[in-house]
Structure 1
Amino acid sequence: MNSYEIVRQIGEGAFGKAFLVRDKHGGGDGRCVVKHINLAKMSAREREASRKEVMLLSKMKHPNIVAFFRSFQGVLYIVMEYCDGGDLMKRINMQRGVPFTEEQVLDWFVQICLGLKHIHDRKILHRDIKTQNIFLTSGGMKAKLGDFGIARMLNNTMELARTCVGTPYYLSPEICESRPYNNKTDIWSLGCVLYELCTLRHPFEGSSLRQLVGKICRGRYNPVSSCYSYDLRLLLTQLFKVRASHGLLQEMRQLLIGWCLPDHILY
């Protein structure tokens, strides 16, 4: 850590802190983020999860994924890219009710899809896709997926995971109903992010977890404004199909291909 100068603390969790630092020997701006994780406070399972995060980050090399630089063991330090535009949730809050243009929504959405494709191609589920875990750089023009703390490596692309994790607003029907799920659970969360970009609010909300789960399992949400195109609104209905048939998935593929969007998200 002697190679880094701490600029300020930018986050804190149960097991550690995140700092904005400057690489003393780096060229250019030299800013990056260091996660300081206190392994002593963790159970053996939690320590293993932290080490797994390091392993997963080291495998991710993509312009739409927060870059990993290096790690130090002992007290665990993870050094990664600093995203100067903050996260997408903060960007949404900055709108103060003024909707994004469809062009901006689709621009970010395509980038998030490309980052997710990179993860899924490597047999990894993110499992916590939400606006807080999507970061912006280049004046807010570039979107990057981050925070792989609860990501899971799959033994093969169709292995089914059963652990109930993630942020409640973004949970998929499969998780709520304790059904097996695979890559599609990330796709549901992706739909929640797209809806939030269009409406500046969550698609599924409730006064209690039980009420929230009921709405998710029924796939009921308020429609998106008609100021957005029919195709964009149709895409949302397809992403939120509780039990999508093969025929519907084919329709979505054709819609995405027409938009020149990556059709991997449909599996």
Structure 2
Amino acid sequence: MDDFVELEVLGRGAFGTVTLCQRKSEQERLVVLKEIEIQETPEITEEEVKVVSSFHHPLIVRFFGRFTRNNNVFIIMEYMPGGTLWQYLKGRKGRLLAEDEVVRLFAQLVLALEHIHSRKVLHRDVKSKNILLSADHSVAKIGDFGISKILETNKSRAGSIVGTPEYFSPELCRGQTYGSKSDVWALGCVLYELMTLTRPFQASSVPALAVKILSGDVRPPDETYSKILRQLLKDMMHPEPSERAGVRACAACPLVAVEIVKLACSLGSAGV
């Protein structure tokens, strides 16, 4: 900690505190320190470090290192000044995003999730609060791998019930094993938020929430959004994993594919 000046606590979660800091050795470098009590969650800490240190992708929050102090581990992460997607959407105060902005942000998340899955990793907590934005809100990056799972093979599945209940897939609600399609469901929930500014499923208790998710009863997005985008949302939120679109199918959607080509040309010059 001697190399850092603490500036602001950005958030507190179940597994740690996130603080904005400045490196003393690099006066202009702002970073985020995520502090985790090792004694409380040793396996989660080691898993997260193993996962985030393996990623080198412009749309995944960067990992700069870690150190241990007073029985706590500190993970040094990239600072994204635009805050979370959740905060951005709430700040819209009901003003819907234009379709081109929805598709631009969503395409970035598809690329990030495709990379994560290609490394045989399940994120298991894809949600708008774990998506971080650049200062102008044009770049979105997936972060927080605290409960991610490294699979032995691409066909391996997980069984632990973890994550944020509002983003639980139907298979999670049924207590079944799950795979990458569960992350796709959660990303579908994020797409729904991009189109409506609200979560698709909300309830006062986890059991009531599970009933809503399993019923599939959700208010459709505004029809000002194209039929192609609304159909993609349906495909991502199909109740049966075998019928649900995979991340590559999402990338192949014509709207998304065009945006991915644009991203391929612009990400390098954007310095992200």
Given the two structures, how large is their TM-score scaled by the length of structure 2? 0.88
- Residue in 1 aligned with 2:114? 117
The amino acid across from 2:249 in the alignment is: R
Unaligned runs of 5+ in 2: 261-272
- Cα deviation for residue 232 of structure 1 reads 0.5
- Residue in 1 aligned with 2:57? 62
Name the SS of the counterpart of 1:217 in structure 2.
helix
- Cα deviation for residue 142 of structure 1 reads 0.5
Asked if 1:236 is matched to 2:233, the reply is: yes
Name the SS of the counterpart of 1:8 in structure 2.
strand
- Residue in 1 aligned with 2:198? 201
Aligned-partner Cα distance in 2 for 1:166–1:80? 21
- Cα deviation for residue 55 of structure 1 reads 1.2
- Cα deviation for residue 254 of structure 1 reads 8.7
The amino acid across from 1:188 in the alignment is: W
Aligned-partner Cα distance in 2 for 1:78–1:212? 33
Asked if 1:32 is matched to 2:31, the reply is: yes
Aligned partner (choices 136, 151, 165) of residue 133 of structure 2 = 136
Aligned-partner Cα distance in 2 for 1:207–1:72? 39
Asked if 1:256 is matched to 2:260, the reply is: no
- Cα deviation for residue 71 of structure 1 reads 0.4
Name the SS of the counterpart of 1:86 in structure 2.
coil
Aligned partner (choices 154, 157, 160) of residue 157 of structure 1 = 154
Unaligned runs of 5+ in 1: 263-267
Following TM superposition, the consecutive aligned residue runs of length 4 or more in structure 1 with deviations greater than 6 angstroms are none
Aligned-partner Cα distance in 2 for 1:14–1:258? 39
Identity, in percent, stands at 38
The amino acid across from 1:71 in the alignment is: R
Judge conservation of contact 1:21–1:31 (CA < 8 Å) in 2: yes
Distance 1:146 1:244, change over 3 A: closer
Judge conservation of contact 1:204–1:212 (CA < 8 Å) in 2: yes
- Cα deviation for residue 138 of structure 1 reads 4.0
Deviation track 1:200-224 (CA, whole Å, cap 9, x = no partner) reads: 1111223432232122113221111
- Residue in 2 aligned with 1:265? none
- Residue in 2 aligned with 1:7? 7
Aligned-partner Cα distance in 2 for 1:255–1:132? 22
Query: How many residues are treated as equivalent by the alignment?
Result: 255
